[in-house]
Amino acid sequence: MFDYKKEFRYFDFEIPPLPEGFVDMSWHNNICPSFERELNETQIITLWVNYKNVKRRELRTKKFFITIETKDEMDHVLIYETDSWKVINNQINKLFKKVK
């Protein structure tokens, strides 16, 4: 079982409660904590939570960003990024509404 607090011991803020269905997939060799959920039969959506301190970010993305990957491939495609937790949750909800 993954745990971002163990994998990123020096992460610089407490991550708010995750959207429904997301599972912690954080691994210390990744750039920041990550959380996944199946989007549909062939794709996985990943919510990445970057460091609060911009100087600690390996990628110069916003604080929250979402990627989608095909289950057969490991290529993550950036879908959306923002510094707002509320906005990223809204974007995730929109993605799942499109799938239904």
pTM of the full structure: 0.92
Residue 67 has pLDDT above 70, yes or no: yes
Sequence-distant (≥ 6) Cβ neighbours of residue 14 within 8 angstroms? none
Residue from 9, 48, 16 nearest 31 by CA: 48
Predicted pLDDT of residue 39: 93
Residue 55 has pLDDT above 80, yes or no: yes
Alpha-carbon distance of 7 to 4, in angstroms, equals: 5
Predicted pLDDT of residue 1: 73
